[in-house]
Structure 1
Amino acid sequence: MPEIVGTLRRLLRETLQIIGRGADVPCLLLSELVTNALVHGDGAPTVVLELRAHKLYITVSDASAAPILRPVPDDTRTSGRGLDLVDSPADEWGVELIGSYGKAVWAVAAVGG
C-alpha cells in the first residue's frame, strides 16, 4: 500500500502542472497526510482533493478515531515529523472527527493562478 503515496503525488503533480499551478507544497502535504494515515490510521485512507479559488484543499480520512499526537520537537528524532512538515508550508490544517467512522486530516495550500 505504500506505493499509493508516490502514485497520488505523481497524479497531483501532473494535474497541477497541466493547469499551470505550483505543485511542490501540495505534493509534500499530500504525501505526508497519506503516509500518516497509512502508518497511524486504520484501513485504507480516503483522499479528496479540491481546487477552489487558487487554493488546494487536501483531505485524508481513515477509520481510526484515535487522536493525533504530535511528539515534542526534537532534532534528533528520525521519525514522527510528518505533522511538522505539514504545519510549516500549509496555509492552514486541522483534524476533524467523522462521527463514529474515524477522522479526517486536512490541509490547505495556495497554488497560484
Structure 2
Amino acid sequence: MLLPLLRPLDADPASDFRLDLFPPALLGIVGALRRLLRDTLHALDLDPDAPCLILSELVTNALVHGDGPPTVVLELRCGRLYIAVSDASVAPVVRPAPNDARTSGRGLDLVGALADEWGVELIGSYGKAVWAVVAVAG
C-alpha cells in the first residue's frame, strides 16, 4: 500500500516541492536530471545555476565512483534546496589533494564552493548519500 507524503507544516504550497527520483545507472541521465531541476526552478522564478551544477556533480560521482543506480532527492523548503544522491557503495568519498594541473576530480571542490553545506552520510550496509544544501533566490 502506498501512503501519501504529508507536506511539512512550514512548507509553502505555492513553491516548495520534493522529488524522489530513481534514474537508471547511465551517464546520459545526468543531463536529463539537470534539465528537470532547471525547468522546475525556472517555473518558480528561481536561479538554477548553482543547484544544477551541484546536482550534476553529485550524480556523476555516484555513477562513476558508486555502485548501482543512484537515488536522487530534491527538496525545496523555505528557500533552501536540499539535494541528496545515494548509491549502494559503502566505499568512502575521497577528495583528491588540491592540484591545479588536475583536469578531473574537482567535482566535490565545486560542490563545496557552491553549497551552503554538504556532507556524506552512510546508510548502514546499504551505501551512502552525498548531500548538499543551497539557498535559491529569484
- Please point out which of 77, 82, 88 is paired with 1:57: 82
Question: How many Å separate the matches in 1 of 2:127 and 2:56?
Answer: 20
- What is the aligned partner in structure 2 of residue 36 from structure 1? 61
Q: Which has the larger radius of gyration?
A: 2
TM-score (norm 1): 0.98
Opposite residue 75 of structure 1, the aligned amino acid is: D
| Partner residue, 2:119 | 94
Do residues 48 (structure 1) and 60 (structure 2) align? Answer: no
SS at match of 2:114: coil
Per the alignment, residue 4 of structure 1 pairs with 29
Question: What is the aligned residue count?
Answer: 113
Matched position secondary structure for 2:64: helix
Percentage identity across aligned positions?
A: 73
Give the distance between the partners of 1:23 and 1:79, measured in 2 at CA.
Answer: 23
Shift of 1:80: 0.8
Structure 1 equivalent of residue 130 of structure 2: 105
Which whole-Å deviations, capped at 9, do the CAs of 1:39-73 have from their partners, x for residues lacking one? 00000000000001101000000000000111110
Root-mean-square deviation over aligned CA pairs: 0.7
- Structure 2 counterpart of 1:36, which letter? N
* Partners of 2:44 and 2:76 in 1: CA distance: 11
Equivalent position amino acid for 1:30 in 2: L
- After TM superposition, where is structure 1 displaced by more than 2 Å over at least 4 residues in a row? none
Residue 82 of structure 2 corresponds to residue 82 of structure 1:
no
Matching residue's letter, 1:44: P
User: What TM-score does the superposition give when structure 2 sets the normalisation length?
Assistant: 0.80
